[in-house]
């Protein structure tokens, strides 16, 4: 692995109302790397991603430990500095792509506003960049005129990804981005993410409970259980020959046709 990770999480502890929900010893994300974060519901995967962007404060969680992004300590960073990183340098995409977009705004309104907020010099420049980004994710620039309710799930997820792309985000936190999509659309989104990584060197933290998807997309995988990482390594190795009991159980729980190995 490259010497300098782009994002390094160390000793991250998240408490909600006195209960420890995440205790993550070490997780690193190198430049241009796609790392999977697997685990069952409630294992702390999403909470970890939210803590990276300092989004856990609003739900009353206390965060301790260290999250270093390109030399910047994100834990305890003040809100103004954090806002500059959110969306622009570290982007996040979500499980339900349509409801992640405000229904009262057109796609273009949100897109242009985000670009303006994060440094596009003029509105026309922002519109051009938005159109270019939509083309890169294989969507028609006309989508800027639509409301979120007029998009399909796959289109909406592409819009979210296009936003990260247009802002030249260095890290993408993808929180179950394909779980709400059907399998063919899911495959397209995975292709898209991989292509963008190859092109732009974006690092992706891919959170999913779907081990087949992780095996297909990620180089490395970390398996979480009850807020802790129980196993970590090269994705294919971990998922084909798991060493920990929990990982074995997870792998065994994947339904498959004909009983073959995952992926």
Q: Which residues bind another protein (CB under 8 A)?
A: 53, 55, 58, 60, 79, 82-88, 91-92, 94-96, 98-104, 114, 117-118, 147-149, 153, 160, 163, 173, 179-180
**DSSP designation for 227:** T
Closest separation between CB of residue 42 and another protein, Å? 14
Q: What's the CA gap between 6 and 73, in Å, rounded?
A: 12
Q: At what angle do helices 153-166 and 183-200 cross, to 10 degrees?
A: 10
> Which phi and psi angles does 188 have, rounded to 5°?
-65, -45
Closest separation between CB of residue 86 and another protein, Å? 4
C-beta of residue 97 within 8 angstroms of C-beta of residue 107: no
Nearer to another protein, 44 or 242 (CB): 44
- Report the alpha-carbon angle 124-172-200, nearest 5: 65
Closest separation between CB of residue 43 and another protein, Å? 16
Collapsed DSSP state (helix, strand, coil) of residue 182: coil
Closest separation between CB of residue 60 and another protein, Å? 6
For residue 137, give both structure tokens.
């994710």
Q: What's the CA gap between 56 and 77, in Å, rounded?
A: 13
Closest separation between CB of residue 63 and another protein, Å? 15
Nearer to another protein, 69 or 232 (CB): 69
Q: What's the CA gap between 50 and 75, in Å, rounded?
A: 11
Nearer to another protein, 57 or 248 (CB): 57
């Amino acid at each position: 692995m490259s010497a300098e990770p782009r994002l390094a999480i160390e000793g991250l502890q998240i408490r909600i109302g006195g209960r420890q929900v995440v205790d993550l010893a070490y997780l690193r994300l190198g430049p241009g790397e796609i790392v999977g974060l697997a685990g069952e519901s409630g294992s702390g995967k999403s909470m970890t991603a939210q803590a990276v962007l300092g989004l856990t404060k609003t739900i009353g969680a206390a965060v301790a430990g260290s999250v270093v992004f390109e030399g910047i300590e994100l834990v305890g960073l003040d809100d103004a500095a954090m806002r500059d990183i959110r969306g622009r340098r570290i982007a996040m995409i979500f499980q339900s792509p349509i409801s992640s977009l405000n229904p009262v705004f057109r796609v273009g309104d949100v897109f242009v506003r985000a670009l303006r907020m994060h440094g596009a010099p003029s509105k026309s420049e922002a519109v051009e960049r938005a159109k270019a980004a939509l083309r890169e994710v294989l969507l028609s620039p006309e989508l800027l005129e639509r409301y979120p309710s007029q998009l399909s799930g796959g289109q909406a997820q592409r819009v979210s990804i296009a936003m990260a792309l247009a802002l030249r985000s260095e890290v993408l936190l993808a929180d179950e981005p394909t779980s709400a999509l059907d399998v063919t659309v899911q495959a397209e989104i995975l292709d898209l993410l991989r292509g963008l990584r190859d092109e732009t060197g974006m690092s992706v933290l891919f959170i999913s409970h779907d081990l087949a998807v992780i095996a297909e997309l990620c180089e490395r995988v970390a398996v979480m259980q009850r807020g802790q990482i129980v196993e970590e390594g090269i994705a294919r190795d971990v998922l084909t020959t798991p060493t920990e009991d929990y990982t074995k159980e997870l792998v065994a729980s994947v339904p498959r046709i004909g009983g073959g190995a995952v992926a």
